[in-house]
Structure 1
Amino acid sequence: MKKEILASLLVLASYGASAQESKATWVNNLKLSGYGITQYQYSGQSGAKANSFNIRLVRVSLDGRILNDVAWKAQIQLNGNTSTLGSSPRIVDLFAEWQKYGYFKVKLGQFKRPFTFENPMHPVDQGFMGYAQNVTSLAGFNDRVGAHSSNGRDIGLQLQGDFLKSSNGRNLLHYQVGIFNGQGINVKDVDQRKDIIGGIWVMPVAGMRLGVFGWEGSYARKGDWSETDAAGNTVEHKGAIRSLSQHRYAISGEYVVNDWTFRSEYIHSTGNAFAKTYQDSKTASDCTLSSNGNKADGVYVLAIAPIIKKQMHVKARYDLYRKTGEWASAKTFYEIGADYEFTKNLEISAEYARVNDRTLAKHDYDMVDVQVSFRF
């Protein structure tokens, strides 16, 4: 399957090249690119010690422009298996965006949800061994609600733009708002309710962003479940839709200057979750609720400092997530690390993390992560 997908992209790329050679003007700037991240990770968690080499990500994308005003992109993830929805090779991006005006752009298809600063960042450029826990759990990666792994993406329509320029021509304000199915990638809507997600941020000085985000929507499954009504009676539901409302907000700040990076985001979520993650047809109809309740929140604070500008960095991150919104469920990573860029297309990074997980009998353990990333 991986070979067939890659072959298809190569055929498209060669077709695009031929089109350019024939001086076709309706499609141009066709580009085939991709990246891979290999990983070694050690975990000293009591009762679950592990150390393993792993292929974290392999992705290939094809993008271009049509008639200058429309940009499009198709991206697939190749690593994984073919037995489950969440970890199999799959389409992650497929969209087109009308970009005639910088202050008003329209995007349609499957792409990143407009929620948090970190979500849309490239996995290599994000800076650490993985996205922060609150972003992973509350922005549509491995979402606490029980949705399949969707890499922060969904299917929908989005408006975005920049405006209010300073005296030197730099935009001071950005907005983005979209309407989405609410079910994650490659899946149709279930409850016919749509998610409304948006954000706005100001850029008072070069390199600084201060923003807020909101998310109102739902996640649903169709299946069987039972619940107790107000009178204490058990009510059975057969082949019905169970829709779980979700209310989320994020407060974000970032400052990037002279190869230094400072970033912090707080996310809060209200809304119940399903007990099992959607992986196949069986879990897709499992409407049992999670015991984690209807609240969760998390915050991260990070700093990345150059040792050799644009080549070598040291970094640190505080990463806290509370899956029930209470301290008894808190999981905290205290991370330090470094990276070295051999070229702009090849990088090695290493991290040490001390983890405190209050849900475990033995709260504290160590982790080591080493990754080699390449782009083409």
Structure 2
Amino acid sequence: MKHNYFKYLLVFALLFPALISKAQQNDDLLNVLVKKNVITEQEADSLRSDEAVKAQKKKDAETANQHSITIGTRALQLSGLVQTEYEGFQQSTKTNTFLLHRARLDVKGNISDDWNYEVYTEFAGVNPKLLDAYTTYKIFDFLKITAGQFKVPFSYESLVNDSELEFIDRSQVVNALAGRSTDVIGNQNGRDIGAQLTGSFAKLDNHYLFDYYFGVFNGAGYDVTTDNNNHKDIAGRLVIHPIANLSIGADFYHGIDQFIVGTAKTATNNLRNRQGIDGRYVWNKLSLTAEFDKGTDAHLNRNGWFGQAAYFVWSNKLQLAAKYDTYDPTQTITTDRTTDYTGGINYFFNKWAKFTVDYVDVREQTTQIKNNLFEAQLQLTF
């Protein structure tokens, strides 16, 4: 019996340095031990089985931590997002209300190690809407090809996942210039149909120094069946990571799109251009974000910017946030700029449940209207 204990101890001592190596190296070592009659083939198979069980348990634990369902060997993953919101308006002409802000189902998976897909659907509102439906093929880290319907690579805040926003609503300038709620082409949720090249290159200290995006799009928006003109729009974005946790980005959008100008009754093809710069830095519990965007719609020039900070005051549970957000919809008019001051509190029950409270102090440039806003939102992801 003591001989067996010694033998297993010897095997463990020989195997321990290899435990952090690849499974193939472990298997080769076991084969050598069998050949030298240190252990039997049956004992080697038992050790291989134990390692396989441990590896599977670790994989299952990682999948469980993602809080998603994985089906099959090609990783069909189902996840979702539900955001229930209450809006309280200071303005007497608006009705305080509960609303279903977002209710989404996400289906994604891998066709192969280098080929994946995603289908993302929104069920909140009158009719379901297809948000994303695309496939991406990775040739190299510096070259990936994406085709279908997906987010246009313009504006840092527009590209942030809805579940990861530090405030309930996006900034005024992003809503106006990134194909969202107040854009001249209507609310396209920042998306369009087209194709793009993306990639990362110049690795430095375990992170890539540059990320790039370049895409060609219809310009007609998302969840549509046909383009509305023969012009194709282009968008590009370059992000630099000079140090870990710091991102500095610059982007552009150039298009000829259909929208109504001034008092016209019908939409016509007009110039729709955008340029922007942004930055984000995360240090321990503190995050700092800023973005400036400008755009031209037909003959109208618009611009705006925001700066925000968020800090976890209690572990990873309670986060305080503040934001300065200003937007000028018509630069030729000097009295129509609006500035929002937002204070927010985020409470994270866990990784999948968050409660957010925001208060927005709205300041018009000339005539101040009592239109401040109180918002509360419960977010669940699965």
Q: TM-score range by the shorter chain?
A: 0.7 to 0.9
Alignment of 1:17-166 (within 5 A): 17=71, 20=72, 28-45=74-91, 47-81=92-126, 88-145=127-184, 147-166=185-204
1:340 aligns with 2:354: no
1:304 aligns with 2:310: yes
| Count, aligned residues | 310
Change in Cα spacing, 1:53 to 1:241, as seen in structure 2 (3 Å) is closer
- Per the TM alignment, residue 174 of structure 1 is displaced from its structure 2 partner at its CA by 1.0
Identical counterparts, % of pairs: 28
- Per the TM alignment, residue 226 of structure 1 is displaced from its structure 2 partner at its CA by 10
**Paired residues of 1:350 and 1:369 also in contact (CA < 8 A):** yes
Which residue of structure 2 aligns with residue 370 of structure 1?
Answer: 376
Q: Give me the whole-angstrom Cα distance separating, in 2, the residues matched to 1:374 and 1:112.
A: 22
Q: Give me the whole-angstrom Cα distance separating, in 1, the residues matched to 2:140 and 2:356.
A: 38
Change in Cα spacing, 1:226 to 1:260, as seen in structure 2 (3 Å) is closer
Q: Deviations over 1:2-40 (max 9, x none)?
A: xxxxxxxxxxxxxx94xx2xxxx6xx1101110110111
For the residue of structure 1 that corresponds to 2:249, the secondary structure is strand
- Per the TM alignment, residue 143 of structure 1 is displaced from its structure 2 partner at its CA by 4.2
Q: Deviations over 1:35-66 (max 9, x none)?
A: 11011111112x52431111111000100010
Q: Which one-letter code corresponds to 2:103 in the other structure?
A: V
**Paired residues of 1:70 and 1:100 also in contact (CA < 8 A):** no
Change in Cα spacing, 1:295 to 1:64, as seen in structure 2 (3 Å) is same
Which residue of structure 1 aligns with residue 67 of structure 2?
Answer: none
For the residue of structure 1 that corresponds to 2:227, the secondary structure is coil
Q: Give me the whole-angstrom Cα distance separating, in 2, the residues matched to 1:334 and 1:177.
A: 34
Which residue of structure 2 aligns with residue 6 of structure 1?
Answer: none
**Paired residues of 1:44 and 1:50 also in contact (CA < 8 A):** no
Q: Deviations over 1:92-121 (max 9, x none)?
A: 000000124211111000000000111111
**Paired residues of 1:322 and 1:330 also in contact (CA < 8 A):** yes
Change in Cα spacing, 1:353 to 1:194, as seen in structure 2 (3 Å) is same
Change in Cα spacing, 1:99 to 1:143, as seen in structure 2 (3 Å) is farther
Q: Which one-letter code corresponds to 2:112 in the other structure?
A: L
Q: Which one-letter code corresponds to 2:231 in the other structure?
A: R
Q: Deviations over 1:181-228 (max 9, x none)?
A: 01110222222111110011211111101111111112126x9x998x
Alignment of 1:170-249 (within 5 A): 170-187=207-224, 188-220=226-258, 242-249=268-275
Please give the TM-score of this superposition, normalised by the length of structure 2. 0.77
Please give the TM-score of this superposition, normalised by the length of structure 1. 0.78
Runs of 4+ in 1 over 4 A off after TM superposition: none
For the residue of structure 2 that corresponds to 1:329, the secondary structure is coil
1:258 aligns with 2:284: yes
Q: Give me the whole-angstrom Cα distance separating, in 2, the residues matched to 1:110 and 1:251.
A: 24
Greater share of helix? 2
Q: Give me the whole-angstrom Cα distance separating, in 2, the residues matched to 1:176 and 1:143.
A: 24
Calculate the aligned-residue CA RMSD, in Å. Answer: 2.1
Q: Which one-letter code corresponds to 1:306 in the other structure?
A: F
Which residue of structure 1 aligns with residue 64 of structure 2?
Answer: none
> Which of the pair has more CA radius of gyration?
2
Q: Which one-letter code corresponds to 1:259 in the other structure?
A: K
Q: Give me the whole-angstrom Cα distance separating, in 2, the residues matched to 1:298 and 1:333.
A: 11
Change in Cα spacing, 1:365 to 1:142, as seen in structure 2 (3 Å) is closer
Q: Give me the whole-angstrom Cα distance separating, in 2, the residues matched to 1:363 and 1:338.
A: 25
Greater share of strand? 1
Q: Which of 351, 360, 368 is 1:353 aligned to? A: 360
For the residue of structure 2 that corresponds to 1:107, the secondary structure is strand
Change in Cα spacing, 1:328 to 1:177, as seen in structure 2 (3 Å) is same
Q: Give me the whole-angstrom Cα distance separating, in 2, the residues matched to 1:204 and 1:212.
A: 14
